[in-house]
């Protein structure tokens, strides 16, 4: 069956549909030896489809993983600085999966990876605003904490107010917070805390939508999501 190449590459877990268009624009995709362009169609079962010379097979079974990303690991599939990547942590997965969004190098916690391009697009598209909750340990003055839940501008973008709950207060002005954000801008939590004069000591993502980090997972471990968990993510991201 002939389909748009963007859909084929997304369904094979190569990249999102938007990223596929960029690959084609730079001439990285060929069909039967001919350079493809955005909007072209192909048959994944019979055509020779390649990205940077690597052949892409037909539609694979869909896999979505929950990884407990440790601090110090970068959310990329490869790294020119030879840092440890999330791709190395999920080598046991039978298909190539891509990260759903990002966690910065020094943050830890729940990271989803999938070869389901439609789910990846739905969870990361700005219009869907899937909430994400982080457990954040900060040091600073108590009177600065309310500022985290007020409207603020990050990198020129007016973010929606976060939901903030103080979980515990420790000596020396240390607080453990649960912060729920809606957009997921680059390093958003860290930038919010910096604007409020708070120093981040530890940042761990504990949920995406209603999906919570599995307490049985240790840093660096992963598991497949159940069909019910994937379906819940589809509903929350507006897919179902």
Q: In the beta sheet, which residues pair with residue 49?
A: 31, 56
The tokens of 82 are what? Answer: 């030879």
The tokens of 115 are what? Answer: 């070869």
* Contact by Cβ (8 Å): 192, 151: no
What span, in angstroms and rounded, lies between the C-alpha atoms of 208 and 191? Answer: 20
Q: Which of 40, 79, 104, 131 is catalytic?
A: 104
Q: What dihedral angle (degrees, nearest 10) is formed by the CA atoms of 198, 199, 204, 208?
A: 30
Is 104 designated active site?
A: yes
The tokens of 152 are what? Answer: 């603020």
Q: Catalytic positions, please?
A: 104
């Amino acid at each position: 069956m002939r389909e748009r190449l963007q859909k084929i590459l997304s369904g094979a877990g190569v990249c999102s549909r938007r990223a596929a268009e960029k690959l084609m624009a730079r001439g990285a995709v060929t069909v039967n030896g001919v350079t493809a362009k955005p909007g072209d169609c192909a048959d994944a079962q019979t055509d020779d489809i390649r990205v940077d010379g690597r052949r892409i097979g037909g539609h694979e079974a869909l896999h979505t993983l929950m990884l407990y990303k440790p601090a110090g690991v970068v959310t990329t599939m490869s790294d020119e600085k030879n840092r440890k990547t999330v791709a190395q942590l999920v080598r046991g997965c039978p298909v190539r999966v891509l990260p759903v969004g990002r966690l910065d190098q020094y943050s830890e916690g729940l990271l989803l990876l999938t070869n389901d391009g439609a789910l990846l697009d739905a969870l990361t598209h700005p219009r869907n605003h899937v909430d994400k909750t982080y457990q954040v340990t900060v040091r600073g003055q108590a009177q600065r904490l309310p500022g985290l839940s007020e409207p603020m501008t990050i990198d020129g973008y007016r973010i929606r107010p976060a939901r903030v709950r103080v979980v515990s207060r420790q000596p020396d002005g240390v607080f453990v917070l649960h912060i729920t954000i809606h957009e997921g801008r680059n390093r958003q939590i860290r930038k919010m805390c910096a604007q409020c004069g708070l120093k981040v000591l530890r940042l761990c993502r504990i949920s995406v939508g209603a999906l919570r980090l599995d307490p049985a997972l240790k840093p660096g471990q992963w598991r497949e999501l159940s069909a019910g968990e994937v379906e819940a993510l589809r509903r929350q991201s507006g897919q179902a």
